[in-house]
Structure 1
Amino acid sequence: MMAVPLSVLEVAMVQAGSRAADTLRDTTTFARQVETMGYRRLWYAEHHHSPAIGAFPPVVLIAHAAASTSMIRLGSGGVLAPNHSPIMLAEQFGTLAGLHPERIDLGIGRGPGTLDELTARALRRGAGPITDDEYRVDVAATLRFLVDEVALDDLPEPWLLASSTAGAALAADLGLPVAIAHHIRPDNTAAAIDEYRARFRPSRWCAGPRVLVCVETVCAPTQQDVEWLAGPMNVVKVGLLQGRGDTPFPTPAEAAEHPFTEQERQALAGFLPHQAHGTPDAVARRLTEIVDATGAEELMLVTPVYALKDRLRSYELVATAAGRA
């Protein structure tokens, strides 16, 4: 049995041959099912201008999922500070927490949520990329508005997302729990966690360091099935590695026919050992290794596979192997 809680990151992939409306309908079924499997929390990521990922505001998905479930914690993983005013974030998530006490998380991230420069500027009303100092001010202001402006007894639990030592240091300075994006930049994980634990200062939000590590996880009964299911995200991933966010999310059959270059195959092969792809026993062992290596108090699993039934089956197999179901 896994010694730490398991949670879920939903990126709402818009699959080839389907519509965004289909993806939205799936999010309801998905939330209800992972709740019954015993996962602790479900977070939604903010993305824009991508053919593979729906541009669905996390705050809206959280509200809908909260009305469709009863126990699982719901939050943003993350809502992106550059795209929102601090007071609006505080009001939106404060309202959610008032409606659904002790169930709402406010996970804050820094990126624009898009690789398209025009979209990023539109989100910022023409402004350029946010600086380190501006980001620090915005996060601190959001926390201040939660306390000073949201006139409710129940507040959301704030988290800071980090994929580098800089983000981890900010979380430590502000006394926030940190969610490490191991599924994006695994080479930075160890250094970011070390920086966070060394610098952490207690706050009203968190008495001691709390580390959540997000891991890309694909689980199926056989290794052949795992590789089939992982194919579509591999196609999207090589596009992202080339700085392109315009790659649709293909079917497994389409992905199997994709002509990867040798350089792309090597990049994918270098990423895979850091994640948790495999049969149930293999995934359970790999997740345990990640907990042992990082000291994480919680793991969050992201499973970007094509069909809802296969995504749910992966989470079900992991839950069973980890002793959750």
Structure 2
Amino acid sequence: MFDIPLSALEVAMVQAGARAVDTLRDTAAFAQGVERLGYDRIWYAEHHHSPAIGAFPPVVLSAHAAASTSVIRLGSGGVLAPNHAPLTLAEQFGTLAALHQGRIDLGVGRGPGTFDEATARALRRGAGPATDAEYEGDVAAILSFLVDEVALDPLPEPWLLASSTAGAALAARLGLPVAVAHHIRPENTQPVLERYRANFTPSRWCDVPRVLVCVETVCAETEEEAAWRVGPMDVVKAGLLKGQSEIPFPTPADAATHPFTAAERQALAAFRTQQAVGTPETVLHRLSRLAKATGADELMLTTPVYDLRDRLRSYELVTKHSGTTTAP
């Protein structure tokens, strides 16, 4: 039995040969599927100007999914504070929380959500990247506006996303639960958690340190099938290693013929050892090991595979073999 809650991160990959509207259609089916499987929450990530990931606002996806589900929590993982006015975020997520009581999260992050400099500047109305002070001020303003301006009941549950010790320190200082991006920078996970727990200050939002760890998880009946399904994301990651952000999300068949260099294969293999890819036995072992090593209160699984059915099957296998499923 797996004894901590499991959640899902929806990245909304746009499949090669598909339209963005097809991805949007799949997000509702995905939300309904993981709700049936008993997952605690779904978060939506903010991305821009990417051929592999849809530029769909987390607040819109959360509202859409909330209308077609009944109990699963929904929200941003995350909405990127430098790209938005703090009052606007407070109003949007505060309204959602009032409409869907007890089901809305507001996960806030810092990154621009794009590797394209022109897009990043457009999001910031021509301004450059946010400084540490500006980001901290934005997060503090969002929290203040939630309480003093929005003042609806209940408020969304705020989280701070962190992949660095600076983000961990801010979450600790503000007394927020922290979501650690182990699926992006696994080498930073332990330093982030050490900084967060050592400096945590209780707040109205959180009495004690609270940790969610996000991990890339691809589960299949065989190791070969899991490797086949993870292939498209490997192609995207290999492009990022070369500084190429405009890499489409290929089919598994195309990914299987991709000419990876020896250095890329080595980097991808090293990354995969920190994630949870393989058979149910392998995946549950790695998830359990990660939960124990981090002391996480919750694990969030991100499963960037090509086909919606394969993606849901991965989530189904995890719950089936972990004993956490509540599906009929």
Which TM-score band (shorter chain)? over 0.9
2:119 equivalent in structure 1: 119
Structure 2 distance, partners of 1:285, 1:268, is 20
Summarize the alignment of residues 3-14 of structure 1 with structure 2, pairs less than 5 Å apart.
Answer: 3-14=3-14
CA deviation after TM superposition for structure 1 residue 152, in Å:
1.1
Aligned-partner SS, 1:274:
coil
Structure 2 distance, partners of 1:110, 1:129, is 10
1:62-112 CA-partner distances (Å, limit 9, x unpaired): 000000000000010000001000000000000000000110000000000
2:259 equivalent in structure 1: 259
Aligned-partner SS, 2:313:
helix
Structure 2 distance, partners of 1:321, 1:172, is 35
CA deviation after TM superposition for structure 1 residue 238, in Å:
1.1
Matched, 1:188 2:188: yes
Query: Match of 2:50, as an amino acid?
Result: S
Aligned-partner SS, 1:78:
strand
Summarize the alignment of residues 1-325 of structure 1 with structure 2, pairs less than 5 Å apart.
Answer: 1-325=1-325
Structure 1 distance, partners of 2:279, 2:153, is 45
CA deviation after TM superposition for structure 1 residue 151, in Å:
3.1
User: May I ask how many residue pairs the two structures share in their alignment?
Assistant: 325
Structure 2 distance, partners of 1:261, 1:151, is 54
Structure 1 distance, partners of 2:306, 2:245, is 18
Give the aligned CA root-mean-square deviation in angstroms: 0.6
* TM-score, normalised via structure 2 length: 0.98
Query: Match of 1:232, as an amino acid?
Result: P
CA deviation after TM superposition for structure 1 residue 282, in Å:
1.2
1:160-215 CA-partner distances (Å, limit 9, x unpaired): 00001110110000000000000000000001000000000000000000000000
Identity of aligned pairs, percent?
73
Query: Match of 2:26, as an amino acid?
Result: D
CA deviation after TM superposition for structure 1 residue 281, in Å:
1.3
Query: Match of 2:200, as an amino acid?
Result: F
Structure 2 distance, partners of 1:75, 1:35, is 14
Query: Match of 1:280, as an amino acid?
Result: P
Structure 2 distance, partners of 1:202, 1:82, is 25
1:300-320 CA-partner distances (Å, limit 9, x unpaired): 000000000000000000011
Query: Match of 1:182, as an amino acid?
Result: H
Query: Match of 1:90, as an amino acid?
Result: A
Aligned-partner SS, 2:60:
helix
Residue ranges of structure 2 left out of the alignment (5+ in a row): none
Aligned-partner SS, 2:105:
strand
1:204-239 CA-partner distances (Å, limit 9, x unpaired): 000000000000000000000000001000000111
CA deviation after TM superposition for structure 1 residue 245, in Å:
1.4
* TM-score, normalised via structure 1 length: 0.99
Structure 2 distance, partners of 1:211, 1:2, is 17
Query: Match of 1:56, as an amino acid?
Result: F
Structure 1 distance, partners of 2:187, 2:311, is 26
Query: Match of 2:51, as an amino acid?
Result: P
Structure 2 distance, partners of 1:293, 1:266, is 24
Structure 2 distance, partners of 1:246, 1:190, is 31
CA deviation after TM superposition for structure 1 residue 242, in Å:
2.3
- Residue range with higher mean Cα deviation, 167-176 or 242-251: 242-251
CA deviation after TM superposition for structure 1 residue 244, in Å:
2.1
Aligned-partner SS, 2:277:
strand
Aligned-partner SS, 1:217:
strand
Structure 1 distance, partners of 2:178, 2:82, is 18
CA deviation after TM superposition for structure 1 residue 240, in Å:
1.6
CA deviation after TM superposition for structure 1 residue 299, in Å:
0.1
